[in-house]
Structure 1
Amino acid sequence: MDLGFNGPKFTWSNQRGINSRIWKRLDRAMVNDKWLQDMPHTNITHLPSIFMQNGQWNLTKLNQLAPQNMVHKILSTQIQLQQEHSDQAVWTLSATGLFSVSSAWNSIRTTREETKINTYTWHKRIPFKCSFLLWSAIRGKLPTNERLASFGIEPGICYCCKSPGVDTIEHTFNTGTFAKKVWNYFAVSLGIQTDQLPLRNMIMRWWNTTHTNEAHKLILQSTPIFICWNLWKNRCSKKYGGKQSSIARVKFLVMLDTFKLLQIAFPYITWPLEWRRLYTLIENCFHDTKITIVQWNRPPDEWVKINTDGSALNNPGSIGAGGIIRNKNGELILAFATPLGEGTNNQAEVEATILGLSWCVNLRYNKVILEVDSQLRGSSLRTKTKKNMEPLYQMRASTHCYSTHSSQMYSHS
């Protein structure tokens, strides 16, 4: 019920003006965390202008319309009216106040404890289609002929083995002769037993095996997924494509998938395209930690050193630059930092160099060592080829102008 009012709007509607349709009324004058609990039968038939005058509570109106046991609580509630600002909905389930479907879903969903089989089924470097296939197989959601039995139809034979069995998920992925030979080929090298276990338990045996390094952990997680994926491809190729089942082809495809995964995850290692050589190499891998001393070296007498850097929040995105000038004793001469608007990391690095050299000119330092942490900037200043990026031409022009009346050295830290 609208009674008319002056001041900011406290009614949420879908549009502005006479065409708006009221869909939610929020009476801020009486809203608090327990308002609905304290007054569950109260009808919202009033507007804040009735209860407030000049930003203060109207005690007379409150005594007339509000429950007496709630007047004190209402008076203790401070309302900060900002009449110059429009009303804005705030989503309390997120830190930003903005609505998101994920936060709404998380507030109403019933969560269960995470399990290893659910966690290991998915990996950012394993193709989604492979993980989804395993997820479906474990939950019995694949369209095998065993489903026909629920309609009273005799299920057909499998499409992979020479001495066929029933076309079930367990037979296709685990207990069938074809599947056993594929599993044994990869499991023997890893020291994993392949005795008669349900598919879920056998996969968990792989995932519970102790790993020696990150590459070993990755193949223990990915190989069962790739085996199931290629067993299913072999089954469908036979049933729908007319191809003959081939153990050698399935082994090679599993090996190829594993090889590609390792190339993406560890591109700096040359991986062999053969399973036993590959696993031997993985067993011999170890995490090599290198320690490099990074220190600031003092400039020679009569020289100063300037260190500059630039960065972007995103690339491209908001960029900024900073730098510091010190003398031979390491004493601070000048430091600067400034935002630069929008751009890329390289642009920020270039601007930082230009700003630093400009300060050296203004302070009349003629012997300057420029030290940067960008190899691109350092190489651009030393070379005269045209393969460098366009933003670096500006930096080179600036340093050339500076070098006409000064001495300078460049180093990359």
Structure 2
Amino acid sequence: MGDIANTLAIKRWWQFRQNKSVWADFLKAKYCPRMHPVGKKWQPGNSQAWKHLLWARDKSEYCIQWNINSGSCSFWWDNWTKTGPLAHTWSSFINKNNYRAKVQDFIVNQRWNAHKIYKAIPSQLALHIMSIEIGNEDTEDYAIWSPTEDGNYSNSSSWNLIRKNRYVDNFINKIWHKAIPFKMPFICWRMFSSKLPFPRAWNNANASTQDRIYCVCCHDPQLESMQYVMVEGKAADCLWKAMGGPLGLIHQHSPIRSIFSNWWNTKPENKIHILMLQATPVLICWEIWKSWTSCKYGDKNKFYHYKMVNQLLMRRGQMYAKKVESLRHKIRCNPVHWEKPATGMVKLNTDGSFFTNTRKAGIGGVVRDEARDLIFAFSVLVNCSSNNQAEAAAVNYGINW
């Protein structure tokens, strides 16, 4: 919402600079009676609306460029050189006699007054100004919005001008899935952001024995850390192997991020397999987290490995059942039609059948020309021992005819 409000503030500044409304004339008369708006500073007592407008000026004024016609724009404060207002880079050349100068003061007979320009500004800038084309003297100078190709203002261009593009972590985005309850990937997001309440600083080598915290997931407690509880502990090792073993995934004591990547980078076979590879690591971390919090803050005193495995299988089964129910058979219809032979040729179509119980076989076929006219047809009982022999006998009979 803040970016939207700032975008509209830039739009108001653009309208203000165009000077095509009573509102713009009122603001200039109230806040800038003796000073150009580009050089005006906010002062105590000015309204918040004017303060926000000046913020928009600082963000967008360099995007407002002026095309020279009659030279009515400000020489020092308007961006008519396409390099920014001259007052921002050459303020030392401004004095009380020329700070209100207009561009038309440096134009004589639709040409630049070289002598006056070289006297007012440095020579390297004067060369650039002399190369600027002068338009029709009967037309007022007009502003263009440089971020767009046609020079007209658009909210989308100012939005792109001020919005803050945040870094998108595609790895984090993969933990979210519509088939997984929100609370489960949310815990994984906190885990990858190091925002779970696992001790880090206290379990270092310099900490005393009393200050160290030991895990509750093993019969032989070890120093507690997120890596140990989620990956290396007895309970975690049991869950990762039980869920990944049938899928051909070997559990290693790698960083948790690498384990997730190993699951997600496995080549899937179908849509159910895709869901299984994406969701199972999230479910495993959820079960470990739930048991850890029950032992840490609840009434449990140990992890029940087999119960955790059963819970995982049940959750995964429910998820896959919903996915399977949403699948629909894809019906494909392949049209089959008879294609006529080339001119001067005929086509033979045959078929054969064999009944295993009665050991009887029958063959049949038709012959047609390029006009689809029937030339010959046959239906004959034969002696065969299989369906393939019946098919071959039908072709042989038609060819010999």
TM-score, length-normalised on structure 1?
0.47
The structure number with the bigger radius of gyration is: 2
